Amino acid sequence: MITGKNYVGSTLKAAGEKTFKTFNPQLDKENPWVFTEATPEEIEETVTLANRAFGTYRNCSGLEKAVFLNAIADEVLALGDNLLVQYCSESGFPMGRAEGERGRMVGQLRAFAQMLAEGSWVQATIDTALPDRLPAPKEDLRKILVPLGPVVVFGSSNFPFAFSTAGGDTASALAAGCPVIVKSHSMHVGTGEMVASAILKAAQKTNMPEGVFSNLVGGGTTLGASLVKHPLVKAVGFTGSIRAGRALFDLASQRPEPIPVFAEMGSINPVVFLPEALKTNSQKWATAYAGSITLGAGQFCTNPGLLIGIKGAELNQFSLELAEAIEKIAPFCMLHPSMKDSFEEGAATMVAQSGVSKIAEYKGEAAPNYGVQKVLTVDGKTFLENKTLSHEVFGPVSILVQCDDEEELLRIVSQLDGQLTGTIIGEANELKEYKELIEGMQNRVGRLIFNGVPTGVEVCPSMIHGGPYPASSDSRFTAVGIHAVYRWVRPFSYQNWPNELLPVELQDENPLQILRTLNNIQTKSKV
């Protein structure tokens, strides 16, 4: 079933000589399939195809694209349990997670399809002419969003479904009208191939142009760099480490024609525990956070890596309860031995820093690639002085920072790098007392949570998954939710253009019955 080849458009190709295999972390052994890296010629052919497809695909109606996205969802589901088994064998995740994440992937595809079928997302804006205006007449102007061109999507390691081949980046770019070239993540490239085959079957069934989707295989950084530097590529989506994301951002910025890179990168997702909340609900929060820290072996961009509180009896109590809860949870399998190694190395580096101590660690036996969760602690002064302690360690480790007072807490929050999320655990009346703290946090994050955990990213229009650098390379856009489509479009104006030649969304009659801004009023009315 797995060919190990590249999908150059709908054609399987593998002219290259470099090959690699994926790894099953649960079984602690290599998987059998052999994958062949794309050659420079295959890359060139793929991009050329995508660019040719753009000429047709950009003019597909919203309804046609909706049918395509729904067909992808259908074809993915048609792969049945085979796909879930493949997913587990290349990620170490359990079946439940596989099924849940497939649901999320399919749900995202359908959400974008619904957005397209409804149609108002193009933000049609019409200002009609005023031929008699003085001193000069006003021309008729009409604005709509148009797709940027071929988009390269880098599969993530930690979401083989929801942020990879047919994940949010691909779904949103296809919704926008951009052909997509996926650089499959090398850890689960077999899963990627299966999902790609579903996308291509859907494209064929719904008469999409050849080249609207391709899926390329590469083990190192050459494939990704070639794609990002290619003049016909117009935007990039990425989820992963700061190092890799920044490297792609730099390549894209240095092109003769710079292009946008939407890199969702590292985050330690600070959580502040206010005293009153700990006094009242310390056990509840200890249990909730033990769960959030260990969920999926901590392999979430929203994993709470930094817990902060003010020294005192409440914080001591919370610390003990958190330790107890953490030690009870059985570890989870990590994605790959290399992930487990990085995690252990990162955690060891943190533990080795002066002033840091370990307050909890799972004590039982753990299978080879399982991430043994740990909670560390340090005082506020030491944390402020040592930048190493605020670097993201991908996996189930968090550090509890114990501050002398509110002022130190405030200093820590205001000196944080940009974050995807920030959380405040407090009683409602406490929030008013910590106004400055909340403002400081707001300035550093994309999403501010009250009395909850940062893990669990709802797919809805009000969600922001992104934040000030380095949480993401462009804080002005979200990677989750239907508004992710706005990363792949640009606004375009028609001046004095004949009605019948305008896109239907801008025509006088409003044939799609979409919501438009007509002379500054939001309306579904005709012009």
Active site residues: 264, 301
Q: Give yes or no for residue 351 binding a copy of itself (CB under 8 A).
A: no
Q: Give yes or no for residue 452 binding a copy of itself (CB under 8 A).
A: yes
The interface with a copy of itself within residues 54-113 (CB under 8 A) comprises 55, 59, 100
Indicate the residue type of 271: V
Q: How far is the CB of 300 from a copy of itself (least distance, A)?
A: 15
**Tally of CB atoms within 10 A around 329:** 15
Q: Which residues contact 165 (CB under 8 A, 6 or more apart)?
A: 155, 182, 184, 191, 192, 195, 196, 199, 215
Measured from the CB atom, the residue of 405 and 458 that comes closer to a copy of itself is 458
Pick the stretch among 183-191, 286-294, 296-304, 494-502 that binds a copy of itself (CB under 8 A). Answer: 494-502
Cβ(352)–Cβ(359) under 8 Å? no
Measured from the CB atom, the residue of 177 and 190 that comes closer to a copy of itself is 177
User: Shortest CA distance to 455 belongs to which of 290, 325, 226?
Assistant: 290
Q: Give yes or no for residue 168 binding a copy of itself (CB under 8 A).
A: no
Helix (H, G, I), strand (E, B) or coil at 151: strand
Measured from the CB atom, the residue of 86 and 303 that comes closer to a copy of itself is 303
Q: How far is the CB of 401 from a copy of itself (least distance, A)?
A: 22
CA angle 31, 32, 33 (to 5 degrees): 100
Q: How far is the CB of 482 from a copy of itself (least distance, A)?
A: 9
Q: How far is the CB of 492 from a copy of itself (least distance, A)?
A: 6
> How many Cα atoms occupy the beta-carbon half-sphere of 510 within 13 Å?
20
Output the CA–CA distances (angstroms, integers) from residue 416 to 150, 354, 383, 407, 440, in the order listed.
Answer: 35, 20, 11, 15, 9
Q: How far is the CB of 462 from a copy of itself (least distance, A)?
A: 4
Q: Give yes or no for residue 231 binding a copy of itself (CB under 8 A).
A: no
By DSSP bridging, strand 357-361 and strand 374-379 are antiparallel
Residues 133-152 as x/- pattern, contact with a copy of itself by CB under 8 A: --xx-xx-xxx--x-xx---
Helix (H, G, I), strand (E, B) or coil at 287: helix
Residues 254-283 as x/- pattern, contact with a copy of itself by CB under 8 A: x--xx-x-----------------------
Q: Give yes or no for residue 379 binding a copy of itself (CB under 8 A).
A: no
Measured from the CB atom, the residue of 439 and 508 that comes closer to a copy of itself is 439
Pick the stretch among 68-76, 192-200, 267-275, 512-520 that binds a copy of itself (CB under 8 A). Answer: 512-520
Count of residues near a copy of itself by CB under 8 A? 71
Q: Which residues contact 51 (CB under 8 A, 6 or more apart)?
A: 149, 150, 179, 211, 232
Cβ(419)–Cβ(444) under 8 Å? yes
Q: Which residues contact 332 (CB under 8 A, 6 or more apart)?
A: 294, 296, 297, 370, 371, 396
Question: d(Cα 93, Cα 85) in Å, to the nearest integer?
Answer: 10
In DSSP terms, 360 is beta-bridged to 375
Residue count of the chain: 527
Q: How far is the CB of 217 from a copy of itself (least distance, A)?
A: 30
Q: How far is the CB of 131 from a copy of itself (least distance, A)?
A: 12
Peptide bond into 275 cis (omega under 30): no
The interface with a copy of itself within residues 388-417 (CB under 8 A) comprises none
Interface residue with a copy of itself, options 69, 126, 277, 350 (CB under 8 A): 126
Q: Give yes or no for residue 224 binding a copy of itself (CB under 8 A).
A: no
Measured from the CB atom, the residue of 171 and 259 that comes closer to a copy of itself is 259
Measured from the CB atom, the residue of 154 and 477 that comes closer to a copy of itself is 477
Interface residue with a copy of itself, options 470, 484, 485, 512 (CB under 8 A): 470
Q: Give yes or no for residue 498 binding a copy of itself (CB under 8 A).
A: yes
